[in-house]
Structure 1
Amino acid sequence: MATPTATCTAFEGVRRIASGSLKDVAIAVKRSHDRAGGEPILVFDDATSRPVEFDLRGSVDDVLARLAGADTDRKADAGADAGEHAADAAVSPVETTRGRGRPKLGVIAREVTLLPRHWEWLNGQPGGASVAMRKLVDAARAAGSDRERVRHAQEVTYRFMTAIAGNLPDYEEATRALYANDRARFERMTDGWPADLRAHARKLAAAAF
């Protein structure tokens, strides 16, 4: 059964045979599977590099019918979950209070305890302490988002490389370069890989650099 995903990529051995929607990839995988003497086929979710499996019994139409049925079931489950969350929100409203004269900007006033030197620095910033603190929080959130993006790209690339490229030359050195954020070395270590595998690994790793 295929896992829920937007797009995926299929490899027969080291050769990419399809990339795109589940339906398009399933058709290509079914046709390759039915050919005699083909190499093992692996399909990867483009967002996570987790394996995607298709039930290839019967004809192409049979495969697509099962795929459509699985997608319908998944959407129904998602709709039910959304309905439950909406119901919970309806019976558990969040109450907020607003002080007299406070602008309707979604601003929430809470006590913050800092040392005198912190208040002195904040009060000396353009816009005062409140503006400075909001900017600091936004900057920290952005930095955290960047770290999460890098970490996710590393995990997705490593998962793909481990599944299909673990026996290729310089695999371990390429992995080290990936986690060291060393694009130049990563590309050198993957230069000798089959073209389709190399291209896909570099595409996945781009966000890590």
Structure 2
Amino acid sequence: MLIEPASPTLTAFADFQRIAAGTRAEVITQLRHRADTMPVFVFDDATGEPLDLDLRDNAPAAAADNAAEPSARAVGRPKLGVVPREVTLLPRHWDWLNRQPGGASVALRKLVEDARRVHADRDTVRASREATYRFMSAIAGHLPSFEEASRALFAGQHERFDTLVADWPDDVRTHLNKLSAAAWGEAA
């Protein structure tokens, strides 16, 4: 059984004020109904990446989602999400994989799942720090103590980070706290 991933959430800012949040469609709807013409910056909450949204009234809300989908491939099992990719290994690696029960594909899947399980905490901390940094760089890169706050973020110094961003605008600080919630784990 395949589980559909949750719709990604976005957060929009005008200057340093949060003006919209929700799914892509919800944020587009909220932004289309704004009366002012201040520039808007929209961020993906999962990655911290800034996004460009088409806010024209005649543009479909899901147009960006549809454009991002790759065309279907005839090989693999696309209905199950299986598409072929290229893996470059040394001959001795291929020899070892081919000797494993089920062959190379089964062995690689098991190795990947084991690595995901073993390193899940570390990967979560890293992803949270990277998302926080992307957002910080885009919206707060010129604010006081930005460089020091970035160093504290990647060093896992939660209290120092909070102290350095304490004077930043409230909505920016609140969003930083949301993005960095998992960045302070023990498994850095």
Is the shorter-chain TM-score for this pair beyond 0.5, marking a shared fold?
yes
* TM-score, with length taken from structure 2: 0.68
> Using the alignment, how far apart are the partners of 1:8 and 1:26 within structure 2?
10
**Structure 1, unpaired ranges of 5+:** 99-107, 109-137
SS at match of 1:150: helix
* One of 21, 24, 28 as aligned partner of 1:22: 24
Shift of 1:73: 4.9
Q: Bigger relative contact order, structure 1 or 2, given CA contacts below 8 A and separation 6+?
A: 2
User: What's 1:42 paired with?
Assistant: 41
* TM-score, with length taken from structure 1: 0.62
SS at match of 2:141: coil
**Of the two, which has the highest radius of gyration?**
1
Residues 31-72 of structure 1: CA deviation (Å, up to 9, x unaligned): 33x52xx43210001111112212223x3xx23x2x234434
Letter in structure 1 aligned against 2:75: E
Instruction: List 4+ stretches of structure 1 deviating above 6 A.
Output: none
* One of 176, 186, 196 as aligned partner of 2:171: 196
Shift of 1:198: 0.2
* One of 144, 169, 184 as aligned partner of 2:119: 144
Letter in structure 2 aligned against 1:86: R
User: What's 1:207 paired with?
Assistant: 182
**RMSD of aligned residue pairs (Cα, Å):** 3.1
- Aligned-pair identity in percent equals 41
Relative to 1, partners in 2 of residues 1:97 and 1:20: Cα closer, same or farther, differing over 3 Å?
closer
Shift of 1:190: 1.2
> Using the alignment, how far apart are the partners of 1:142 and 1:68 within structure 2?
33
2:12–2:42 Cα contact (<8 Å) kept: yes
Which one has a larger percent helix, Structure 1 or Structure 2?
A: 1
